[in-house]
């Protein structure tokens, strides 16, 4: 009866020059087979690394592993297969070689040339450090399609885009919402959520995705694709586009759960496009975590894990009138009408199911 989510989020692209973020950091990586461009979206620090890989290159792939927290680059060159990954730890970016010829891979950085053999690493000191917050929350909307980002951008399905957006943005610090550039579309999403407009919110998120991101969810405050959307503001270089990821992730969360003191609203603004899904390891403060799942656009099951005694009020979609409350996985349970407070005891498991219209 435990609500689990085992989906792995590892979006990838076979297109050279696809920008993406180094997970849990402000670093934008633009990889080519024989060049890496890195730019910090906060400090604006820039540099490049030149992998001296002999062409022609085939089967080139860049993958953003959101489970492990690194970017992996691999393919086949004139001398065989190569694979290396980038990860940030403290004030250092590590380039770790996974696979190469016996003589190693040679890299050029700031005029220095270094050969790195298999299971060795190149270390680069940078000014910024990774973001330390590591929420365990994870969401999935039922899609099992390959996370090939070229195809994801072609299909434009919310169930493919929003989970990865949330997974990437949840680690970033909170930023103030700005009414400027592509962030103006983010403000529109916020307004629709406040109005609980589930008919239009999905379309609004898709418009934001198309305009405010390039590559694999790499944020931008200027629509560099020139799609004809009137957002031609003067953007200060001091502004970071990371707010599009972080505040977007917070808005995605508000689609699924809204909290006011001891009151929780479940699926308050579920977009009409998202028929089924799971949201797990939700941190509601006050030593309370919960997991829930829904299908056919209605809540199906909810598990509460209180770490202290508390009283909780729950609200669901308007059509729900009652549910069954069970103590533990084997409890028989009883029917509870919507609006009745739940008195939760510390370290007990409460399961809500059999939701009735």
Q: What digits encode the pLDDT tens for the residues 308-327?
A: 999 999 999 999 999 999 99
Average the pLDDT over 110-133 and give the result: 91
Does residue 230 surpass a pLDDT of 60? no
- 3-state secondary structure (DSSP) of residue 172: coil
Tell me, what's the pLDDT at 224?
79
Residue range 262-278: mean pLDDT, rounded: 96
Question: Same domain for 173 and 84?
Answer: no
Domain membership flag for residue 115: yes
Domains: count for the chain: 3
87 — pLDDT class (breaks 50, 70, 90):
very high
CA distance 202 to 193: 10
Tell me the C-alpha distance between 207 and 216, whole Å. Answer: 16
- For residue 336, pLDDT over 90 is answered with yes
The answer as to whether 273 is a domain residue is no
Q: In terms of domains, do 120 and 40 share one?
A: yes
* pLDDT greater than 60 at residue 345: yes
Using DSSP, state whether 275 is helix, strand or coil. coil
- Sign of the four-CA dihedral 304, 305, 307, 309: positive
What gap in Å lies between CA 301 and CA 316, rounded to an integer?
A: 12
Look up residue 22 and give its DSSP letter.
P
pLDDT recorded at residue 47: 95
Residue 107's SS3 state is strand
Where would I find the beta strands (DSSP E) of 216-340?
A: 218-219, 257-260, 263-266, 277-283, 288-295, 298-306, 310-315, 322-327, 334-337
Q: Please check whether residues 338 and 289 belong to one and the same domain.
A: yes
Is 230 found in the same domain as 318?
no
Read off the pLDDT of each residue in 259-288 and give the average, rounded to a whole number: 94
Please tell me whether residues 158 and 64 are part of one structural domain.
no
The stretch 233-240 carries a mean pLDDT of 74
The pTM score is: 0.94
Q: How many angstroms from the chain centroid is the CA of residue 329?
A: 31
| Domain extent at residue 65 | 12-125
């Amino acid at each position: 009866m435990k609500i689990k989510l085992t989906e792995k989020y590892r979006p990838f692209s076979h297109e050279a020059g696809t920008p993406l973020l180094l997970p849990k950091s402000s670093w934008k990586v633009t990889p080519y087979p024989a060049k890496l461009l890195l730019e910090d979206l906060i400090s604006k620090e820039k540099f490049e690394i030149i992998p001296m890989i002999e062409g022609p290159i085939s089967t080139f792939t860049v993958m953003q592993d959101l489970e492990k927290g690194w970017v992996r680059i691999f393919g086949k060159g004139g001398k065989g297969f190569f694979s290396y990954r980038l990860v940030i730890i403290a004030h250092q970016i590590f380039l770790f070689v996974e696979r190469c010829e016996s003589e190693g891979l040679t890299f050029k950085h700031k005029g220095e040339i270094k050969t790195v053999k298999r299971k060795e690493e190149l270390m680069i000191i940078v000014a910024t450090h990774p973001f330390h917050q590591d929420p365990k929350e994870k969401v999935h909307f039922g899609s099992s399609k390959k996370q090939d980002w070229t195809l994801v951008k072609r299909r434009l399905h919310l169930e493919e885009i929003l989970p990865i957006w949330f997974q990437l943005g949840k680690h970033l610090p909170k930023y103030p919402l700005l009414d400027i550039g592509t962030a103006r579309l983010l403000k529109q999403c916020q307004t629709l959520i406040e109005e609980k407009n589930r008919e239009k919110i999905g379309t609004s998120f898709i418009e934001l995705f198309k305009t405010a991101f390039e590559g694999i969810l790499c944020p931008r405050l200027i629509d560099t694709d020139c799609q004809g959307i009137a957002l031609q503001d003067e953007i200060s270089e001091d502004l970071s586009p990371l707010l599009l990821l972080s505040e977007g992730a917070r808005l995605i969360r508000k689609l699924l759960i809204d909290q006011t003191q001891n009151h929780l609203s479940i699926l308050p603004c579920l977009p009409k496009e998202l028929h089924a899904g799971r949201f797990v390891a939700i941190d509601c403060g006050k030593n309370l975590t919960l997991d829930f799942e829904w299908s056919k656009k209605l809540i199906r099951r909810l598990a509460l894990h209180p770490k202290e005694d508390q009283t909780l009020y729950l609200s669901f979609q308007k059509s729900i009138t009652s549910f069954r409350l069970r103590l533990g996985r084997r409890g028989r349970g009883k029917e509870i009408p919507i609006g009745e407070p739940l008195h939760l005891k510390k370290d007990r498991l409460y399961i809500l199911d059999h939701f009735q219209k």
